[in-house]
């Protein structure tokens, strides 16, 4: 983290503290790795965060303490934003004991915790060491706070999308008949990493022919054959922020049904994009795309759901589906990814990442959309 | 899964049912992805398993149903072993409702669940749909059942270790002064995938110079300099089974303190390996290695803990530390990985995977152990 980022982190902590005050919480226990990164710039594992109105702590152990010192930069931060580090000896002190000690020092009595990010077993053990405190599920606080991305986050998401575009551009000449799903997916992952992706946004999904109808299948040894549909779903990571893009092609000239399949999905995506701006609800977007699919000959094979938020987590709020009444806001980034999946025959999905801006949106993923590959 | 594997899966289900009967459970809810793979051969996501004395179910949704049909092969299995699939419409039925329906059909009243693998929030929602049932945490059942690996699992672990050996052999000539941690770690990951690893066992750890003292740090842009210590920790995956190996080197001739550091860690590892056979406790192994470290000039910098089980999960039972009284058994696979971490100066760890056999053990990781790289 460079010094210019420190004010961003200070803003995040301040915003969280406002939400905590509104929820009547003296302190908050943070378990999700993505939230430790969001609040403290910590990208390691095996840590727990504690936030109160005036202080913040990161509790970890000897394996990650140097990384925490490097990343959290607590010494250089001014008081009130500074994150203190606690290096726990796991053989001598349970996590609940360490947290209990800190909470007692803070005089906290109403303590929120991320119920969506701690297991029943782990929480049973921790809470047994926190008698006398009101422990309140508060999973949503950080999930909601992360929905709107600040300018720096938007830039990371833009870069992740651009990196994925470049990887696909580099892969295109290598897509040849006879190469297997696994070979090409592995090659895509190598290109992503060579171009600078921090690991993968998720394991690459690549299906040929009938296997293109598996929305989330792992690549197999099936070779690409002329006339196959090809669905490729992949992403890059930049400073923890993820991209998520799907492109669908046909290997050679499209058969009429394949072309209709492509046109239907493309129109469904356009129907949603035409409405995509701050103020629209997830349900409205979903319904617009669904209406196109439902009116087509492929209605029985339409995949449910339209898309999801994307950021430090691949699938995050908001989820664009039939029950999403939430209004989208400027600064949110969502995928728009209608799909049709005909079992045993083939499927097709087109997915882009869009950043909501005042009055409209910006498409972050810009890779080619041509359907037929010249094979 | 090929037909010869079916008896192995049948044995696993039968063994689990015995453990369930001993624990007085009519049914068991399985959430951990690695346990869905272990019991049902399912390698997808977003699924929940249900096991009773006579039946087994996998509940998933449209995204993964075809994968489940491919992998679980329920149609070809004989009755009593067959896994039934339930494709839930997530917009119409909550997971708890679907599970409640199945449990009612089975007449189950005492239901175990994997408390270590379901979040507090998710379990709160599911259990609200399961009134009138005794819901009992039973995380340990599958964790313990997986400790001893059958012959097929041992073969996967052997192959994963051999694949990692081959990747390191291929990387060796590419380790040159001036190349960064990130470059070489990325190259290692490409080699692992090219050689056939299913993704990565874990993100590669590679530290040079003072950064070698970070036991679990992410690779940086620091270039390799003459005289640097270099710690490389990485692994491969074969059919879900992982390897985990660390090699430590010095770039060029070792300084005397570096050689002593290496010899100390190597002797600590040998002290543990000399005792490694069925019947020994994790604590005894840990203490043997610790005694060597504690008697050295580096005593103040010894890393705690000696190693862990490895299989479908990277870090699994048994954990070899000062409190591990469990006796090791033939068929278990553990890492033996003593380390010394001198902050600001450098660290060193040597890690191998060992399969316990009657009367002794087999080292699965066989890559070179030479300390000085000819740079």
* CB-based contact, B123 to chain A, within 8 Å: yes
CATH code 3.40.50.1100 for A3-145? no
ipTM of the modeled complex: 0.85
Nearest to A116 among B121, B139, B190 (CB): B121
Q: Do B63 and A117 touch (CB under 8 A)?
A: no
Identify all chain B residues contacting A89, using CB atoms and an 8 Å cutoff.
304
A66–chain B Cβ distance below 8 A for any pair: yes
Q: What is the pLDDT of residue B142?
A: 93
**Under 8 Å between Cβ of B229 and B248:** yes
Residues of A in contact with B123 (CB under 8 A): 120
Check B137 against A121: CB less than 8 A apart.
yes
How near does any CA of chain A get to the CA of B198, in Å? 9
Of the partner residues A67, A213, A216, the one whose CB lies closest to the CB of residue B217: A67
Place of tokens 């005042």: A358
B370 pLDDT band, cuts 50/70/90, is very high
Q: Is A368 part of the contact surface with chain B (CB cutoff 8 Å)?
A: no
Model confidence pLDDT, tens digit, residues B329-349: 999 999 999 999 999 999 999
Residue numbers in A near B116 (CB within 8 A)? 119-122
Q: Which residues from B are below 8 Å from A66, CB to CB?
A: 213-214, 217, 343
Query: What is the H or E stretch that residue B231 is in?
Result: strand B229-234
Cα angle value A179/A181/A185 (rounded, 5°): 105
The rounded distance, in Å, linking the Cα atoms of B281 and B34 is 26
Q: Give CA–CA dist B36/A247, Å, rounded.
A: 30
Query: What DSSP letter does each residue of B146-197 carry, written as one string?
Result: TTS--HHHHHHHHHHHHHHHHHHHHHGGG--TT-BHHHHHHHHHHHHHHTT-
Q: Do A321 and B121 touch (CB under 8 A)?
A: no
**DSSP letter, residue B219:** P
Which residues on chain A are in Cβ contact (under 8 Å) with B216? 44-45, 63-64, 67
Asked if the C-beta of A193 comes within 8 angstroms of chain B's C-beta atoms, the answer is yes
* Positive/negative CA dihedral, A233, B87, B41, A342: negative
* Cα B96 to Cα B118: distance, rounded to the nearest angstrom: 13
Cβ contact, residue pair A66, B217, below 8 Å: yes
Chain B positions in Cβ-Cβ contact with residue A194 (cut-off 8 Å): 186, 190
Evaluate if residue B80 carries a pLDDT over 80: no
Does B221 contact chain A (CB < 8 Å)?
no
DSSP string, A211-248: GGG-TTPPP-SPBP-TT-EEEEEE--EETTEE--EEEE
Within 255-294 of A, beta carbons closer than 8 Å to B belong to: none
- The shortest C-alpha distance from B3 to chain A (Å) reads 19
> Does pLDDT of B76 surpass 70?
no
Cβ contact, residue pair B124, A139, below 8 Å? no
Provide, as residue numbers in chain A, all residues whose Cβ is less than 8 Å from the Cβ of B89. Answer: 304
- Number of A/B CB contacts below 8 angstroms equals 105
Least CB–CB distance from B91: residue in A63, A214, A304 = A304
Asked if A55 is an interface residue toward chain B (Cβ–Cβ < 8 A), one would say no
Q: Which of A44, A116, A117 sits opposite B216 (nearest CB)?
A: A44
Does A120 contact B121 at a Cβ distance shorter than 8 Å? Answer: no
CATH T-level topology, domain A151-373: Creatine Amidinohydrolase (3.90.230)
Chain segment B200-245, per-residue pLDDT in tens: 899 999 999 999 998 877 899 999 999 999 999 999 999 999 999 9
**Is A325 part of the contact surface with chain B (CB cutoff 8 Å)?**
no
Q: What would the 3-class secondary structure string for chain B be?
A: CCHHHHHHHHHHHHHHHHHHHHCCCCEEEECCHHHHHHHHCCCCCCCEEEEECCCEEEEEECCCHHHHHHHHCHHHCCCCCCEEEEEECCCCCCHHHHHHHHHHHHCCCEEEECCCCCEHHHHHHHHHCCCCCEEEECCHHHHHHCCCCCHHHHHHHHHHHHHHHHHHHHHHHHCCCCCEHHHHHHHHHHHHHHCCCCCCCCCCEEEEHHHHHCCCCCCCCCECCCCCEEEEEECCEECCEECCEEEEEEECCCCHHHHHHHHHHHHHHHHHHCCCCCCCEHHHHHHHHHHHHHCCCCHHHECCCCEEECCCCCCEEEEECCCCCCECCCCCEEEECCEEEECCCEEEECEEEEEEECCEEEECCCCCCCCEECC
- Record: contact B120-A120, CB cut-off 8 A: yes
Q: Which residues of B touch A116 (CB under 8 A)?
A: 119-122
Q: Measure CB to CB from residue A215 to each of B43, B63, B89 and give the nearest one.
A: B63
- Is the CB of B304 less than 8 angstroms away from the CB of A341? no
Segment B104-117 mean pLDDT: 96
Beta bridge partners of A30: A49
pLDDT category at B30 given cuts 50, 70, 90 is very high
Does B140 contact A at CB distance below 8 Å? Answer: no
- Residue of chain B whose alpha carbon sits nearest to that of A127: B120
Partner residues linked to B48 by β-bridges: B59
Residue contact A67–B218, C-beta within 8 A: yes
Q: Which residues of A touch B139 (CB under 8 A)?
A: 121
Q: Two tokens at B332?
A: 């278990």
Q: pLDDT tier at B75 (50, 70, 90 boundaries)?
A: very low
Would you kindly state where each structural domain of chain B is located, as residue ranges? 3-145, 151-373
The alpha-carbon gap from B55 to the nearest alpha carbon of chain A, in Å, equals 26
- Is any Cβ of chain B less than 8 angstroms from the Cβ of A216? yes
CA-nearest residue to B140 within chain A is: A121
pLDDT of residue A75: 44
Q: Which of B121, B139, B304 sits opposite A62 (nearest CB)?
A: B304
State the pLDDT at residue A77: 52
Mean pLDDT of B60-70: 87
User: Which of B66-70, B189-193, B353-357 has the lowest average pLDDT?
Assistant: B66-70
Q: What is the pLDDT along chain A (375 residues), one digit of tens a residue?
A: 555 677 888 889 999 999 999 999 999 999 999 999 999 999 988 999 999 998 899 999 988 888 888 888 654 454 445 688 999 998 889 999 999 999 999 999 999 999 999 999 999 999 999 999 999 999 899 999 999 999 999 999 999 999 999 999 999 999 999 999 999 999 999 899 889 998 889 999 999 999 999 887 789 999 999 999 999 999 999 999 999 999 999 999 999 999 999 999 999 999 999 999 999 999 999 999 999 999 999 999 999 899 999 999 999 999 999 999 989 999 999 999 999 999 999 999 999 999 999 999 999 999 999 999 999
Query: Does residue B120 belong to the interface with chain A, where contact is any CB pair within 8 Å?
Result: yes
The mean pLDDT value of chain B amounts to 93
Residue A215, chain B, CB below 8 Å: the answer is yes
Q: Is A224 helix (H, G, I), strand (E, B) or coil?
A: coil
Tell me if B202 sits within 8 A of B217, measured CB to CB: no
Would you call B304 and A190 a contact, using CB atoms and an 8 Å cutoff?
no
């Amino acid at each position: 983290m460079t010094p210019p980022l420190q004010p961003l982190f200070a803003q995040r902590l301040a915003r969280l503290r406002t939400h905590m005050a509104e929820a009547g919480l003296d302190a908050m226990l943070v378990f999700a790795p993505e939230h430790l990164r969001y609040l403290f710039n910590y990208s390691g594992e095996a840590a727990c965060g504690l936030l109160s109105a005036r202080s913040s702590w990161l509790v970890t152990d000897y394996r990650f303490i140097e990384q925490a010192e490097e990343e959290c930069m607590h010494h250089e931060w001014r008081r009130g934003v500074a994150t203190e580090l606690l290096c726990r000896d796991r053989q001598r002190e349970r996590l609940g004991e360490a947290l209990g000690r800190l909470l007692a020092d803070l005089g906290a009595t109403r303590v929120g915790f991320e119920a969506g990010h701690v297991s029943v077993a782990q929480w049973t053990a921790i809470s047994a060491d926190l008698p006398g405190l009101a422990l309140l599920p508060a999973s949503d606080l950080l999930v909601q706070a992360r929905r709107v991305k600040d300018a720096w986050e938007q830039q990371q998401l833009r870069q992740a999308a651009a990196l994925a575009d470049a990887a696909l551009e580099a892969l295109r000449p290598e897509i040849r008949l006879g190469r297997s799903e696994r070979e090409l997916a592995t090659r895509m992952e190598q290109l992503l990493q060579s171009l600078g992706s921090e690991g993968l946004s998720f394991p690459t999904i690549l299906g040929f022919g009938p296997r293109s109808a598996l929305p989330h299948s792992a690549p197999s040894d099936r070779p690409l054959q002329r006339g196959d549909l090809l669905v490729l779903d992949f992403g890059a990571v930049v400073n923890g922020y993820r991209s998520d893009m799907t492109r669908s092609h046909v290997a050679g000239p499209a058969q009429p049904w394949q072309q209709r399949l492509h046109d239907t999905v493309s129109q469904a995506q356009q129907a949603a994009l035409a409405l995509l701006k701050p103020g629209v609800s997830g349900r409205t977007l979903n319904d617009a795309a669904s209406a196109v699919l439902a009116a087509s000959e492929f209605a029985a094979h339409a995949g449910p759901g339209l898309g999801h938020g994307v950021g430090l987590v691949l699938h995050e709020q908001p989820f664009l589906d039939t029950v999403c009444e939430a209004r989208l806001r400027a600064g949110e980034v969502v995928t728009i990814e209608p799909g049709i999946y005909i079992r045993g025959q083939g499927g097709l999905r087109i997915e882009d990442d869009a950043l909501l801006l005042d009055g409209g949106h910006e498409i972050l993923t810009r890779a080619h959309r041509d359907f037929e590959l010249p094979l």
